[in-house]
Amino acid sequence: MTPGAFEYHAPSSVAEAVGLLEEHGDSAKILAGGHSLLPLMKLRFAQPEVIIDLAKISDLSYIRQDGGGLAIGAMTTYTDIETSSAVQSAVPALAEAAGMVADRQVRNMGTIGGCLAHADPAGDLPAVILALGAQIVTSSSGPHRTISADDFFVDFFTTALQPNEIINEIQIPALPTGTGTSYAKFGNKASHYAIVGIAAVVTVSGGTCQSLRIGITGAGPKATRATATEAALTGSSLNDASIKAAAQLASDGVDFNEDLHASAEYRAHLTRLYTERVLLEAVSRAG
């Protein structure tokens, strides 16, 4: 199928994009990489009257070190993140997750900002962004707004973004010495979407867990955290037995999806299994 008729704009600055968004309101949609929006338009599930394409805003594509952490522009592609030595060194889990998205063509065009704004419940990056405790910086006609990853993912394809906002930057805080990160997923063989994906960021000192954040994607209607597992391990000794026991709590409080790819019970099992695997790898990387 082909999409319905629409008006197309390709602004060259964030200010121009925000102005167009303000002008056209609910009739407009932002186009980043396009791999989520365009299929919906072709199927007529989405029929925006106005498309605002951010591809020409070069200022939104970058990865730079920022106070020991990283700042990543919203239009930075999956491939740029996957291959960035700065990302690989500072937060390997983010590079891993970016490299697991779909196929090479999608990774060359898809962007981190588009992924987060779309908030697909089976997307890879939201789990890592949650585990890293990242901040999402937005632009609008008013002041910049900074949204914690914990507050960003609201529901099925729903975020805390206001209608007049676009994502400008993702800020990843500096990780303490002795921190390990990891991401792994059980993916759909055709689409590569996560049936369940788990990200872990753990800080270890003297064999004891100093801090821990675990992000879950694919399992429920939105990316979420395994807070029961985090609480069970924080301040405790880390060994195979304690990790295995805590991983059994990862499914607590998750409203599991159920579809032709996996039952709710199977997703719960995968959540516990992959939490254990990812924790073991993250602890190993923490040294």
Domain ranges across the chain: 7-53, 58-172, 179-286
Tens of pLDDT along the chain (287 residues)?
Answer: 788 999 999 999 999 999 999 999 899 999 998 888 888 899 898 899 999 999 999 999 999 998 889 999 999 999 999 999 999 999 999 999 999 999 999 999 999 999 999 999 999 999 999 999 999 999 998 888 999 999 999 999 999 999 999 999 999 999 999 999 999 999 999 999 999 999 999 999 999 999 999 999 999 999 999 999 999 999 999 999 999 999 999 999 999 999 999 999 999 999 999 999 999 999 999 98
CATH of 179-286, one of 3.60.70.12, 3.30.460.80, 3.40.50.300, 3.30.390.50: 3.30.390.50
How far apart CA 80 and CA 193 sit, in angstroms, is 20
- Rounding to the nearest 10 degrees, give the CA dihedral for residues 28, 19, 164, 158: 50
**CATH no. of 58-172:** 3.30.465.10
User: Which pLDDT does position 14 carry in this prediction?
Assistant: 95
Give the largest CA-CA distance in the chain.
62
User: Which pLDDT does position 276 carry in this prediction?
Assistant: 98
Instruction: Let me know if 198 is exposed, middle or buried by CB neighbors in 10 A (0-12, 13-18, 19+).
Output: buried
Instruction: Give the bridge partners for 185, in sequence order.
Output: 197
Helix (H) or strand (E) holding 148: strand 145-148
- Give the fold, CATH level 3, of 7-53: 3.30.43
Total residue count of the chain as it appears in this document:
287
- The number of angstroms, rounded, from the C-alpha of 213 to the middle of its chain's C-alpha atoms is 14
How far apart CA 160 and CA 140 sit, in angstroms, is 14
User: Which pLDDT does position 186 carry in this prediction?
Assistant: 98
How far apart CA 185 and CA 86 sit, in angstroms, is 23
Instruction: Give the bridge partners for 197, in sequence order.
Output: 185, 217
User: Which pLDDT does position 142 carry in this prediction?
Assistant: 86
